[in-house]
Structure 1
Amino acid sequence: MHTIPLRMPLDDTGLPHRQEPSAPAPAAPVNASRYNHPHFLGTSPGEREGWIVYTFAPFTGTEPTPTFPTTAYDDTSLTWELRDSLHDQYTAARIAWSHARLRRQAKALLHKAASLWTAWTTARDELIAVFEEFWSTSDGHWRAQLLRLTDAERAVNKAAGDWDTVAAKLAKVAADQIDVAGYDEKLPLTTVAQELGYDASDWMIHPVDDYAHPLPQYRIVRNGVDYYGRATPLTASATQLVEAQRERLREVANLAGAADPADRALD
């Protein structure tokens, strides 16, 4: 008798025993960590249901802009859920990076701005004080008081111009941060200033376009004629203040007949 090896065992009827097909082995989970941003540390649940907090090593702001790796688009092993998660990770990375870059770029500017804003408020207050002295200045001393006023005007205009120069730079770095992260993830300059020990709540920093393309921002009425000027924001405010004071003095000069050359010099 010969025996023939069978691929399947015989049952008690002498017929081959069919094996049920085995279930496929579970696929190994796809590891997408190779696409993580180098600063990525991990995730944790957010305060609201369904939110995820992405944690990164500190950014300096000098790194390249975090950009979703293009190779991940061609990786067929990645599910759409994994790609979405990676997109969210890189979105969070760009936000963190943009905040770090703004803090780095704004630091020196804010230190300078603090002293320039003080110079502006000092010059503005001095101009107002000099103007108010006309109420107690005798007619014979108006020329000297006008000289003090013009000196104060020059000081206030210079302080406003100096401020607008640094404010334009601050407006630019703030706009750049929003361009990267979106308006909802805006880091206010007042927050960065507070971190440096400054209260910037009343600093005049307009949108960047107001510095790049100044619009008509002040109106001067002189001898019955309207004049419109273009200026950056604080310079426009300084001009309005100066012109309001001069218009008041012209009214007084006209009422007095403008007999004094010092009065006519206002025109």
Structure 2
Amino acid sequence: MAHTIPLKTPLDDTGLPHPDTLTGPPATAPAADASRYHHPHFVDARPTDSGTAYRFTAFSGYEAQPEMPAGAYDDPAMTWELRDQYTAARVLWSHSRLRRQAAPLLHKAAPLWSAWTAARDELVATFAQFWSTGDGLWRAQLLRLTDAERAAQEAAGAFDVVARELAQAVADQVDVAGWDDALPLTTVAGELGYDASDWTVHHVDDYTHPLPQYRIVRDGVDHYGRATPLTVSATQLIEEQRERLREVAALAGDHDQVHRTLV
């Protein structure tokens, strides 16, 4: 006895289902696989309320800067997620590099900053002693003041040498991570036990671009130095003090003696 099986699609003249009536599931392209392009430190990516969080094994800062493999750019398997992954990798790598580069400089800068603040405080205290210095002792006090000025200028210059290197390390990081994702230098200093919140570390351009010079008279000879940021602060303090002394000398009719010392 013959059996019949109902067909869900009619047959054409060949006895095969007509192609226009096939109702199987739509064909799908195989899922793109970009895993071969992942950075070696990549662990995983997870969605968050603000986007995607990328995890990596720790960077040392000695690795080459993370860059997408050249082949990924022409591969249809490449996605925007891969680009974002490498952006995140570069940010984390730049943080590690900054920590590596800045650590020895911060260790060097800490005592130099302390030396500067001590020299600055001594300069302020020496100037304040004029309020209790007798008229016959002003010349000796002026000599003590010029010694304090010299010490402050030298301490400021010594710190600025290291500050320039720190500023360059910060600039190199910003070039990679951008300002929004930059790791603050004060954070790196804090990790090493230093409070650098009041340290004078300017943008690297303030150390590399030509600036006015400052002048110090030492042993009767003019000495000139480059006006880097902290030396500018020291010079401004010195000039404010000297201007006050010149005003007092003028009022006291002793202008010539003070002028010869403070010129």
| Bucket of the pairwise TM-score, normalised by the shorter protein | 0.7 to 0.9
Match of 1:41 among 43, 51, 58: 43
Task: Show the counterpart of 2:63.
Answer: 63
8 A contact 1:217–1:233 mirrored in 2: no
Q: Quick one: distance in 2 between partners of 1:131 and 1:63?
A: 52
Q: Is the 8 A contact 2:246 2:255 kept in 1?
A: no
The counterpart of 1:139, out of the listed 115, 126, 135, is: 135
The one-character-per-residue Cα deviations of 1:71-111 (angstroms, maximum 9, x if unpaired) are 01222x42xxx421111111011001001001110111111
- The count of aligned residue pairs is 238
1:148-163 to structure 2, matched below 5 A, reads 148-163=144-159
2 CA distance for matches of 1:199 and 1:20? 80
Deviates more, 1:89-98 or 1:243-252: 243-252
| Range with greater deviation from structure 2 (26-35 or 56-65) | 26-35
C-alpha distance after superposition, 1:8-49 (max 9, x if no partner): xxxxxxx8632466757644323211100111011112243x
1:17 to 1, 15, 18: 15
Query: Is the contact between residue 99 and residue 187 of structure 1 (CA under 8 Å) also seen in structure 2?
Result: yes
1:224 — aligned with what?
A: none
Distance (whole Å) between structure 1 residues aligned to residue 83 and residue 152 of structure 2: 50
- Report the RMSD for the aligned CA atoms in angstroms: 2.3
Residues in 2 aligned to 1:126 and 1:42: alpha-carbon distance in whole angstroms: 56
CA–CA separation in structure 2 for the residues paired with 1:215 and 1:197 = 33
Q: What residue in structure 2 maps to residue 207 of structure 1?
A: 203
Residues 1:87 and 1:141: Cα distance change in structure 2 (over 3 Å): same
Conservation of the 8 A alpha-carbon contact between 2:61 and 2:94: yes
Does 2:194 correspond to 1:194?
no
Question: What's 2:239 paired with?
Answer: 243
TM-score (norm 1): 0.82
1:214 shift after superposition: 4.2
If the length of structure 2 is used for normalisation, what is the TM-score?
Answer: 0.83
- Aligned residue number for residue 254 of structure 1: 250
Map of 1:110 onto structure 2: 106
Q: Aligned letter for 2:260?
A: R
2:122 pairs with 1:122? no
Q: Match for 1:40: what amino acid? A: F
The whole-number CA distance in structure 2 between the counterparts of 1:43 and 1:63 is 21
Cα distance in 2 between the residues matched to 1:126 and 1:68: 55
Q: Displacement of 1:145 after TM fit?
A: 1.1
2-side partners of 1:99 and 1:154: how far apart? 38
CA distance in 2, matches of 1:135, 1:67: 64
Where do residues 218-237 of structure 1 align in structure 2 (5 Å cutoff)?
A: 231-237=227-233
SS of the aligned residue for 2:200 comes to coil
Rounded to whole Å, the distance in 2 between the matches of 1:64 and 1:263 is 59
Counterpart for residue 93 of structure 1: 89
After TM superposition, give the deviation of residue 215 of structure 1 in Å. Answer: 3.7
CA contact (8 A) 1:39 1:56 kept: yes
Q: Which amino acid aligns with 1:29?
A: A
Is residue 230–residue 236 contact of structure 1 (8 Å, CA) maintained in 2? Answer: no
In 2 relative to 1, CA 230–109 (structure 1 residues): closer, same or farther, beyond 3 Å? Answer: closer
**1:109-167 C-alpha deviation (Å, 9 max, x unpaired):** 11111111111111000000001001101112122211211111111000110111111
CA contact 1:42–1:56 (8 Å) conserved in 2: yes
- Structure 1 unaligned regions, length at least 5: 1-14, 219-228
**Structure 2 regions of 5+ residues with no counterpart?**
1-12, 215-224
Pairwise CA distance, 1:258 = 2.2
- 8 Å CA contact retained: 1:123, 1:152: yes
